[in-house]
Structure 1
């Protein structure tokens, strides 16, 4: 009897999100899913060359599998940053070729790089020559008003020739002029069929899809066409969605905690983080505010954890106050 085919580590992931997917957020998400790949916020090569490496690269051992996303365009700087990422224990290095923010454009990286596939290829090769862990690319399907499939096909083709085998495709164009980063996640239309076509044209590559995914049903539909799905803001705002992924999409029996148990683990983590480096509990609690979304009492529970007047209190006292509003029965809308 043949053994079942191994599940791709990129089958399901939580997207890198600036100001959101820090190590505290990833610790919280790992309590909800053991198998899903987690990504850091984008860390620029300049920040690693000139800033605090520990501040940017420190993570919790419980986060594995976890990938470091880099922002940069200089091959030597990318190789240096990738080496640091490997030394710190990350499972993957991902190059950002999709962020359209003004700051990223001024640095000539992010989505701008889609117009320079040779630069991306050189950076990927430099990183692959330096590290043993996978080097992957996250990108858009086009930039500005360029909507030709040939554009993204040629980009993937060029970068894959440098050795990249995994591409996470945000299925919208990035408009580099006239739209804010938020609008760039909403205004350019989603064209999933281009990501599907990439998989057909490059069957030897791992192709994942990102953008607008909000339900398990959508995930399952995409997985019929591509190798992986990356979920962004839905995972952050409605994190309980993650609790069903291990069993449904990885075939691993869920070792699920209850919401109360998750909250208890987060309070213990807050206490540990404060003891280790003085991290205040509210810097951590902000990431779990969606934990009780859809349950009765959720709004008042969330208000307690968000109340700036409670900042001087220890997290266990705040937890007790929040628990006073917890009701077991779910409702269709928050009360």
Structure 2
């Protein structure tokens, strides 16, 4: 007598459709470590390329001599100026990539991004307003004001996305963020255009870029970036619980509201610091976490550090591309990341099921 084969119940379609492709595959530790090595090597190569490539051709000999502090020729002087620009691209890219990964984890929204949700533009509006009407001149003050604007914008967008029937769905948040970003961008232009004394300095800053970097500017944001990194990375394990759903996370002993507030605070600090020094650079926080999930899966203990490294690599590569394709002029990294991120955003939207949006 043969026993009938047990019948397994398939997972509900509503659940499996919401799982990202990367969640269906468990990444072994050795695979993750291999990808970590690859990403670190790529980032190092991009940093060397960022120092060597630009409007002026620089030999590798001049690069090594300039790294020692020499400025005996124009080539070596160019390398000396590119070093802080490269470091700023790494810091800002890492901050935006990590902030995007945290925002997607906090909201469980695949469309979450500091640019799409209006966080970066809120930080920009607060900085421009403080400079134009309150005479703000301190670079450290820029960071505090930018963080306040980023936080206020995040709360505003989430409140708008929560209106009406149902919860704050990914599409509602994306639409609320897009409308808020457009409105804030118009307000930024309205504040800057009548002010000839500040319009020149803020014109390129509005686009988002790392040109004009200096060690002093990097040093001013490093404490804030370090705090944001620490808060976000320490929230990784709790974000794994949050990904299971609020009720299950609460059943596991997690304080859901505290997790969300703490992780979101870390992301806001990173966005505010990055925007204060480099302007509103978009789409890095959207593209990077999705790419990292394909490499290391959805475990935030791996995903968040990888998002920081890949974000640094992406922004450094974008800066190199912007300097090379339009010699001797520069294309700001905000334009390059938009060209990369906008099609990716459309692709993510098209992949989502209508009922999930």
For normalisation by structure 1, the TM-score amounts to 0.23
**Greater strand proportion:** 1
Give the structure, 1 or 2, with the largest relative contact order (CA under 8 Å, sep 6 or more): 2
- Larger gyration radius, structure 1 or structure 2: 2
**Greater helix proportion:** 2
